[in-house]
Amino acid sequence: MSKPMEQGAGAGFEPRIVAFFCNWCTYTAADLAGVSRLKYAPNVRVIRVMCSGRVDPQFVMEAFAKGADGVLLGGCHPGDCHYAEGNYKTLRRMRMLERMLKDMGIADGRFRLEWISGAEGDKVKSVVNDMVAKVRALGPLDLPGKFAEWDKEIEELEHQISAQPAKEAVHAR
């Protein structure tokens, strides 16, 4: 998508979205979207897991912490999991994670769980486009930038101290 809509964000903000797709349904659907030459926004980077149940809430948080503006998790439809019920386990823990993310100030819409079957290449397209548009409207999250910003207050003191001449130039280690 070459036409960014600046809404609540700096001009030309391109959301960075990390997606975890299960191998059997959603990853396959993304392959199908490719084979069908569907066109969608290039903002999503897919990480392949065998089952959405492999996705640890830590991965979602880590993706945000490393700079993702959104995290998309794709699994098989309920009842269709290649591993019988992996997606129910995903759903349960991600429902709780959603609450925690909200409490931590990560807006609704930055994390999304979608069921996309291997035949739904078009759904990959519509979900990605929709999510990119919504995250674009939310603006950058930029946690690495925020972490650096937060730590400025302690770096000042560090600089002050290191500016003073050391009492003795011996450092045991």
Partner 1 sequence: MADNNGNKPQPIGLPRIGFYVCHCGSNIAGTIDVAEVAQFVAGLPGVVVSRDYKYMCSDPGQEMIAQDIKEHKLDRLVVAACSPNLHEETFRKAAAKGGLNSFLFQMVNIREHASWVHEDKKAATAKAKGLARAAVYRVRFHKPLEKQQVPVDPNVLVVGGGIAGIHAALTLANAGKKVTLVEREATIGGHMALFDKTFPTLDCAACILTPKMSAVKSHPNITLWTYSEVAKVDGYVGNYKVTVKRKPRYVKEDLCVGCMECIDACVFKEPKFTDQFNQGLGKRKPVYIDFPQATPKVVLIDPQSCIQLKTGKCKKSCAEACDRDAIDFTQKEETRELQVGAIVLATGFQAFDAKKEPRYGYGRYPGVYTALEIERLVNASGPTSGEVVLRDGRHPKSVGIIHCVGSRDAKTNKWCSRVCCMYSLKLAHLIQEHSGAEVYNFYIDMRAPGKAYEEFYDKLLSEGVHFIRGRVSEVTDWAMTPEEEGKLVLRVEDTLAGFVRRIPVDMVVLATGLEPKADAQEVRRRFNIGCGNEGFFQERHPKLAPVNTFTDGIFIAGACQAPRDIPDTVAQAGAAAAEALVLIDAGHVELEPNTSHVVEEECCGCKSCVPLCPYGAITFDEAKKKASINEVLCKGCGVCAAACPSGSIRQNLFEDEEIFSEIEGVLAK
Partner 2 sequence: MPDKPKVAFYWCASCGGCEEAVVDLAEDILKVVEAVDIVLWPVAMDFKKTDVEARPDGSIAVAFINGAVRTSEQEEWARMLRRKAQVVVSFGACANLGGIPALANQFKKEDILKFVYEDCPGVDNPSRTRPQTSTVDEGRTVTLPEIRNMVRSLDQVIDVDYYLPGCPPTPKIIMAAVQAILAGKLPAKGTVLSPDIALCEECKRKDSKPADLSLTEFKRPHQIQIDPEKCLLAQGLVCMGPATRSGCEALCPSGNMPCTGCFGPSSRVKDQGAKFVSSVFSNIAPKEAADIDKVLDGIPDPIGTFYRYGLSKCILRRKIN
**Which residues make up the interface to partner 2 (CB under 8 A)?**
53, 56-58, 60-62, 64-65, 78, 88-89, 91-93, 95-97, 99-100, 103-106, 141, 143, 146-147, 150-151, 153-154, 157-158, 161, 166-173
Q: Restricting to residues 88-107, which ones interact with partner 1 according to CB under 8 A?
A: 89, 93
Among 9, 28, 110, 127, binds partner 1 (CB under 8 A): 28
Residue number, 88 or 134, with CB nearest to partner 1? 88
**Least distance CB 170 / partner 2 (angstroms):** 5
Among 15, 53, 70, 140, binds partner 1 (CB under 8 A): 53
Examine residue 25 and tell whether it contacts partner 1 (CB under 8 A): yes
Interior/surface letters 91-100, b for 16+ CB within 10 angstroms, e for the rest:
beebeebbee
Least Cα distance to 77 among 110, 48, 114, 44 occurs for 114
- How far is Cα 35 from Cα 4, in angstroms, rounded to an integer? 26
According to the 3-state scheme, what is the secondary structure of 109-152? CCEEEEECCCCCHHHHHHHHHHHHHHHHHHCCCCHHHHHHHHHH
Q: Restricting to residues 30-49, which ones interact with partner 1 according to CB under 8 A?
A: 30-31, 33-35, 37-40, 42, 45-49
User: For the chain, how far is it from start to end, CA to CA, in angstroms?
Assistant: 54
**Least distance CB 28 / partner 1 (angstroms):** 7
- How far is Cα 44 from Cα 47, in angstroms, rounded to an integer? 10
What are the residues whose beta carbons fall under 8 Å from the beta carbon of 18, sequence distance 6 or more?
A: 44, 45, 47, 63, 68, 70, 71, 72
Applying CB under 8 A, the residues found at the interface with partner 1 are: 1-2, 14, 16, 18, 23-25, 27-28, 30-31, 33-35, 37-40, 42, 45-51, 53-56, 58-59, 62-63, 65-68, 79-80, 82-86, 89, 93, 117-120, 125, 147
